Amino acid sequence: MQSKVRRRLAHSPVARGAAFPLRTMMVARYDARLIGRSVDWLVHGRETTNFTYDLDPLNRDQLAWFVAAVSGATVGHARGWMDELQRDVALHDHVTERWASNPRRGISEKEPHWARRLGWYALIRAIQPDHVVETGTALGLGSCAIAAALLRNGHGRLTTVDIDPEAGCLIGGIWESVVERRTGRSIDILAGLEAVDMFLHDSLHTYDYETMELSAVGPNLGAHAVILSDNAHQSSALGDWAQRTGRRYLFFAEQPRDHWWRGDGIGAAWTQPSPSSQVGPASS
């Protein structure tokens, strides 16, 4: 009976007006949740930029599928590698201690939340690169995750570049042993680097600058290099470059858990066939 009335109303000329209260409730519920998260972040959070958070569990699993698609590894291995970083107590404690003694601790989180960096980590475990290059070190949270993956692999090194001479305060301990920090404009430094197996753009996030970085590093990329962008949620620079250079391209969009920020993502470009079609089980 009720559904008959509803159907008649839906087909009537006043349908739009009649649906207004329902639509108002739907959007108000959504906005109230967002405002709740925003207030919680303002009261309990500290960050002013480069926000950190965990991923929604379903989104985390989608990230494992993304890693599998880009690397050719199985999704089971990708999940295992992501868990490996999440459970790395030594790295967690190291970052937490470094953060506590950082002069910018008033505007930094207290503990690491890896989010999309779980994907960077798992890709390095899958692809087994000898040389990873990251532009945009900032505090060094991503550098720590990359270094941890290289140490688990048992080979490989990271060159991380930042224009800020104070960047990289989280890089220390055993993780520092595989990291070379370079200070300067990334496009000036990239041209001089040797065989790069994985490149991550995370510096100046404009279309033109990202494209300049890709052009600068291009001649130094290994045949099966994987190229990542931390700017792909707002720029097509990597996708456009992938098309021009005959590579494949895929984008993973983050869905942060309990955070107002809509999330960033990972853009990935790679050559076919997949750089790693056979990978072994995750080892500790």
Ligand X SMILES: C[S@@+](CC[C@H](N)C(=O)[O-])C[C@H]1O[C@@H](n2cnc3c(N)ncnc32)[C@H](O)[C@@H]1O
Q: Which residues bind ligand X (CB under 6 A)?
A: 50, 134-138, 141-142, 161-164, 167, 185-186, 202-204
Q: How far is the CB of 282 from ligand X (least distance, A)?
A: 22
Residue 64 or 171: which CB sits closer to ligand X? 171
Check residue 176 and report its DSSP letter.
G
Torsion of CA 148, 153, 159, 162, to 10 degrees: -30
With CB atoms as reference, the residue minimizing the distance to ligand X is: 142
- Burial of residue 63, with CB atoms counted within 10 A of its CB: 0-12 exposed, 13-18 middle, 19 or more buried: buried
Q: How far is the CB of 213 from ligand X (least distance, A)?
A: 8
Q: How far is the CB of 138 from ligand X (least distance, A)?
A: 4
3-class DSSP assignment, residue 269: strand
Residue 145 or 279: which CB sits closer to ligand X? 145
Residue 115 or 279: which CB sits closer to ligand X? 115
Residue 197 or 202: which CB sits closer to ligand X? 202
Residue 197 or 264: which CB sits closer to ligand X? 264
**Bridge partners, residue 248, by sequence:** 270
Q: How far is the CB of 49 from ligand X (least distance, A)?
A: 7
Q: How far is the CB of 154 from ligand X (least distance, A)?
A: 23
Helical pair 75-86 and 117-127, crossing angle rounded to 10 deg:
120
Q: d(Cα 138, Cα 183) in Å, to the nearest integer?
A: 11
Q: Measured in whole angstroms, how far is the alpha carbon of residue 90 from the centre of its chain?
A: 21
Q: d(Cα 226, Cα 5) in Å, to the nearest integer?
A: 58
